[in-house]
Structure 1
Amino acid sequence: MSIIEVTLPKMGESISEATVINWMVKEGDFVEQDQTLLEVATDKVDSEVPAPSTGVITEILVQANEVVQVGSLIAKIEASQAEVGAAKPPKKAKPKTPNETPKPKLPKQPKKLKTASSDAATYTVPKNTNAFYSPLVEKIAKEYHISYEELRRIPVSGSNGRLRKSDIFNYIEAGRPAQFAQSIEQDANHFQVPDLKFDKGKGSIVAMDRMRQLIADHMVFSKHTSPHVTAYVEADLTEMVIWRNANKEAFFKKHNQKLTFTPLFIEAVTKAIKDFPMINSSLDGKNIIVKDDINIGMATALPSGNLIVPVVKNADTKNLAQLAENVNELALKARDNKLKHEDTSGSTFTISNVGTFGSLMGTPIINQPEVAILATGIIKKRAEVIEYPEGDKIEIRQMMYLSLSFDHRVVDGFLAGSFLRRIADNLENFEKPTF
């Protein structure tokens, strides 16, 4: 008889450690070569570690939730000499797709699912009380915009109530039946799909394209994740409008760039972020990450009608001419469907100019993982009462509503109101730039 040492195999170039999720065997169990011994999780994937030899598990040296270094001894197997000679070296627990989260290959035409209304009486999911999720499960949940609340509604098959990647893939393939489940009052540990019999009417069917589906998932995820609150102010943009109208032709001649209001708004927002840096943050568990860079996303409509958010990187380091060039270039790329991944990633705060479409104001949904988003309404002439030392006067002014939706987990009313008011002040006290 001989003792075979089981070590944690290498799982990628940059991976040096993994967390033990759970053991599939126990000491004294007989195992066959290549049988799964345990599941481990890295920051990229969940993997299974196979048995290097047939034999009996004599010792398990690490327990669930322990962090283990690659190459460390994790168990011992007692094998016969015949088995030792035939044993294969341990297989590497390599991910399906290195360096990125694996995506489940769902069927193009999934089986017909029961509707929420027809299934409501029978579909009851026990609430999963396990608070630990592996890094891979969390990444899949983020990719498919599944909140932690919804994760707790997914039936589990892992030991000790552990949610496995196969559980979440099966749930996604089933059409996420508990996505909008409601808590049952008589039993707070269970959820049930509401029996809503909507009359959806009749008409032509238009299938959502992939981008529209992603947008829909992203919006639902944001509303499920962040407690949204919206604050409003109005700003007098008369001086800014007068200056822009008087200088847009000269600006174009000098810089060969159109001068829209967007770079002016970005400039005002960037200055306000410097005064209130907590707005420029993201929530990571119980930690708030206050970003070093100020990257402003600008919500833009594509020719297809879908929405995308190109990003002006390091907006606080650029003058008006540079901002105008960036804005115009990104808008052109969006219209021509030529935006690249780097053009739409890394935003830390987003502006949605709903006034472009004639809207007076809007209540935007936060662009995750940011904690706030600004909507700028239409600039509209209105009669306003203006105070002067000699008395009040009614004048025609160029007015605009601004609305800030913010994540109340991170941003409170005082911070949101102060930040929004500072943006309005920056717009009203417009510093006429020289160019």
Structure 2
Amino acid sequence: MKVEFKMPKMGESISEATIINWLKNVGDVVDAEETILEVATDKVDSEVPSPVSGVITEIRFGKNDVVKVGEVLAMIETDESSSGKKITIGKTQHVNQKTQKGESLNNDLILNVEVKSHQPENKQQLKSNPDAFLSPLIISIAQKENLSLEEVQSIPGSGAEGRIQKSDVFDYLKNRKYPIKSVSQNNPELPKSTYPKPVIQFSEGKDRIVEMDRMRKMIADHMVYSKQTSPHVTSFIEVDVTNLVDWRNKNKDAFAEKHNEKLTFTPIFVDAVAKAIVDFPMINVSVDEKNIIVHKDINIGMATALPSGNLIVPVVKNADQKSLVELAAAVNHLAESSRNNKLKPDEVQGSTFTISNVGTFGSLMGTPIINQPEVAILALGIIKKRAEVITTSTGDEIAIRSMMYLSLSFDHRVVDGFLGGSFLRKVGDYLEQFDINTAI
């Protein structure tokens, strides 16, 4: 019998994926659970296994095609006689990771193998919806295709609650005839910039062209979107982490022996940030048009460099509820998985606040770009020893202290200087007054 090989479900909010590569061709023999396809969503690349053993008789989509979840990708001829069978593949291998949005994914891929015909979807009438939610990816596509805001908002969405997906935009572009003109309420005829695009000098034989990979393009789009969306303000403070550094240096070997976990500074930083968020919950929010979404969970993202040089943000979930030992275990697992490209989809989703340890690369401080849809991001600079004037019980003294800069970039639409400065100072206080008894 012939079995339909469908685009698997990859999460509650994921309704489509892009085909990266077919590992098998028409006529090839495949075994059950053998990887035959690589696909990409907005968040993670995955290897998709065959649900059954048999021979591929038809492939309906090619490389770079965007396919909705549940659509038939290929037909497999098999000797099995069962129909309407549902097969759950318990484990999924992930070949690469991307920058994330705050959405949750399932760890497993569920393949529905059914023999039935598809009913065509009802097409909606083209009508602009000013309340339509546009994701950063949709905005990026619209900018590249020169679509006006009203035109994008008029596209019927096939996602959850009518959300516009990539495939909706691509389908619209294929049939686009008469674009809807964008109308500005205040300035209907805004003058275009006359400044010419700078000419890039290219020397044959010396310079070389390196095309951005897909992940780098998404990072670029995400960064540009963040700067265009949030008015960034960055505040700085300097903190004395001498006691913290001394404690770690004295106890890291014993900690590793007792708990079987390496103790870096990162879990200590995560702990301080989580505690400060509890004190200032309005820093743990997202902006939805005119509404502020206050997140109950405190999920700390860690900006991490991949071996490829790209960036990803694995997430420590419910960081405020974890001890230092648990935070160390979570941080070590995520860091190791990042280095080996083994992060699961759920491990790069749902962050509500992000930290970036720029000191790892020797930077004194940084002005990080907010990880949308969050409203703040903290950069931690390098820890350096230097002579400082300190106040003791006997008066002012000059001493060698371990100092570091903290910088907080925040969205000035909802985070004012008082909140941003108070939160940043609180993080510094927790680091300076680090108490191992409460941390562990």
Shorter-chain TM-score tier: 0.5 to 0.7
- In the other structure, the counterpart of 1:142 is 136
One-letter amino acid of the counterpart of residue 337, structure 2: K
Q: Is the 8 A contact 1:154 1:168 kept in 2?
A: no
Give the drift of 1:157.
8.9
Give the drift of 1:193.
5.4
- In the other structure, the counterpart of 1:7 is none
Work out the CA distance in 1 between the residues paired with 2:194 and 2:173.
Answer: 19
Q: Is the 8 A contact 1:145 1:217 kept in 2?
A: no
Q: Is the 8 A contact 2:130 2:150 kept in 1?
A: no
Alpha-carbon displacement from aligned partner over 1:187-208 (angstroms, at most 9, x marks no partner): 6533635542313222100011
Work out the CA distance in 1 between the residues paired with 2:149 and 2:139.
Answer: 19
- In the other structure, the counterpart of 1:340 is 344
Of 262, 282, 287, the residue aligned with 2:286 is 282
One-letter amino acid of the counterpart of residue 143, structure 1: L
- In the other structure, the counterpart of 1:97 is 68
Q: Is the 8 A contact 2:155 2:172 kept in 1?
A: no
One-letter amino acid of the counterpart of residue 347, structure 2: D
One-letter amino acid of the counterpart of residue 346, structure 1: G
One-letter amino acid of the counterpart of residue 408, structure 1: H
Work out the CA distance in 2 between the residues paired with 1:349 and 1:273.
Answer: 9
User: How is 1:12-411 mapped onto 2 (pairs within 5 angstroms)?
Assistant: 97=68, 132-133=129-130, 135=132, 138-139=133-134, 141-146=135-140, 154-155=147-148, 163-164=154-155, 169=170, 189-190=189-190, 192=192, 194-202=194-202, 203-411=207-415
One-letter amino acid of the counterpart of residue 196, structure 2: L
**Unpaired segments of 5 or more residues in structure 2?**
1-13, 17-65, 72-126, 157-166, 175-183
Alpha-carbon displacement from aligned partner over 1:88-138 (angstroms, at most 9, x marks no partner): xxxxxxx973599xxxxxxxxxxxxxxxxxxxxxxxxxxxxx984364xx3
Work out the CA distance in 2 between the residues paired with 1:96 and 1:350.
Answer: 32
Assess, with a 3 A threshold, how the Cα gap between structure 1 residues 287 and 246 changes in structure 2: closer, same or farther.
same
One-letter amino acid of the counterpart of residue 147, structure 2: I
**Alignment partner of 1:431 is 2:428:** no
Alpha-carbon displacement from aligned partner over 1:12-60 (angstroms, at most 9, x marks no partner): xxxxxxxxxxxxxxxxxxxxxxxxxxxxxxx989xxxxxxxxxxxxxxx
| Count of residues in Structure 1 that have an aligned counterpart in Structure 2 | 299
Work out the CA distance in 2 between the residues paired with 1:157 and 1:396.
Answer: 60
One-letter amino acid of the counterpart of residue 288, structure 1: I
Q: Is the 8 A contact 1:147 1:225 kept in 2?
A: no
Give the drift of 1:340.
1.4
Give the drift of 1:368.
0.5
Assess, with a 3 A threshold, how the Cα gap between structure 1 residues 146 and 209 changes in structure 2: closer, same or farther.
closer
Alpha-carbon displacement from aligned partner over 1:221-280 (angstroms, at most 9, x marks no partner): 100111100000010000000000000000000111110000000111111000000000
Give the drift of 1:331.
0.3
Give the drift of 1:414.
0.1
Q: Is the 8 A contact 1:233 1:403 kept in 2?
A: yes
- In the other structure, the counterpart of 2:78 is none
Work out the CA distance in 1 between the residues paired with 2:236 and 2:128.
Answer: 37
Work out the CA distance in 2 between the residues paired with 1:187 and 1:318.
Answer: 52
Assess, with a 3 A threshold, how the Cα gap between structure 1 residues 234 and 145 changes in structure 2: closer, same or farther.
farther
Q: Is the 8 A contact 2:15 2:68 kept in 1?
A: no
One-letter amino acid of the counterpart of residue 136, structure 2: K
Work out the CA distance in 2 between the residues paired with 1:170 and 1:406.
Answer: 37
Q: Is the 8 A contact 2:136 2:221 kept in 1?
A: no
One-letter amino acid of the counterpart of residue 190, structure 2: H
Q: Secondary structure at the match of 2:189?
A: strand
Assess, with a 3 A threshold, how the Cα gap between structure 1 residues 145 and 233 changes in structure 2: closer, same or farther.
farther
Give the drift of 1:392.
1.2
Work out the CA distance in 1 between the residues paired with 2:256 and 2:168.
Answer: 57
One-letter amino acid of the counterpart of residue 154, structure 1: L
Q: Is the 8 A contact 1:154 1:167 kept in 2?
A: no
Give the drift of 1:146.
4.0
Work out the CA distance in 1 between the residues paired with 2:287 and 2:425.
Answer: 24
Q: Is the 8 A contact 1:157 1:164 kept in 2?
A: no
> What TM-score, normalized by structure 2, do the two folds share?
0.62
Work out the CA distance in 1 between the residues paired with 2:301 and 2:168.
Answer: 35
Question: Over alpha carbons, which structure has the higher Rg?
Answer: 1
Work out the CA distance in 2 between the residues paired with 1:300 and 1:365.
Answer: 14
Assess, with a 3 A threshold, how the Cα gap between structure 1 residues 156 and 317 changes in structure 2: closer, same or farther.
closer
Assess, with a 3 A threshold, how the Cα gap between structure 1 residues 98 and 336 changes in structure 2: closer, same or farther.
closer
Q: Secondary structure at the match of 1:293?
A: coil
Q: Is the 8 A contact 2:128 2:153 kept in 1?
A: no
Assess, with a 3 A threshold, how the Cα gap between structure 1 residues 96 and 328 changes in structure 2: closer, same or farther.
closer
Query: What root-mean-square deviation, in Å, do the aligned CA atoms of Structure 1 and Structure 2 show?
Result: 3.4
Of 422, 425, 437, the residue aligned with 1:421 is 425
Q: Secondary structure at the match of 2:435?
A: coil
Work out the CA distance in 1 between the residues paired with 2:326 and 2:201.
Answer: 50
> What TM-score, normalized by structure 1, do the two folds share?
0.62
Q: Secondary structure at the match of 2:68?
A: coil
